[in-house]
Amino acid sequence: MIVDFPLPELGPEVPAATIITWCKNVGDMVSPGEVLLEVMSEKVNIEVESDITGRLVEIVCRAEEEVAPGTVVARFEAAE
């Protein structure tokens, strides 16, 4: 089953963040707690961790893109 991974809420005063880098590549297996990507807000860089177990099948938003919390940034094939 394909599962969307949205950018989580980053704080009450963070309306958007810029993706700095992806720490995983398409095809990589990911477990909860592993860092998927790093984003930058106006004040701080934040490591975004997975809450999904599965294989990364698509990176929807690329590095240097600005995205709002709730925006789908990746898709996974969830492990059953």
- What is the helix (H) or strand (E) element at residue 57, kind and residue range? strand 54-59
For 41-73, write each residue's pLDDT tens digit. Answer: 887 899 999 999 999 999 999 999 999 999 999
Q: How many CA atoms lie within 13 A of 62 on its CB side?
A: 0
Domain ranges of the chain: 2-74
Distance (Å, whole) CA 46 – CA 66: 14
* CATH number of the 2-74 domain: 2.40.50.100
For 2-42, write each residue's pLDDT tens digit. Answer: 999 999 998 888 899 999 999 999 999 999 999 999 999 88
CB atoms within 10 A of CB 21: 11
| pTM recorded for the entire structure | 0.90
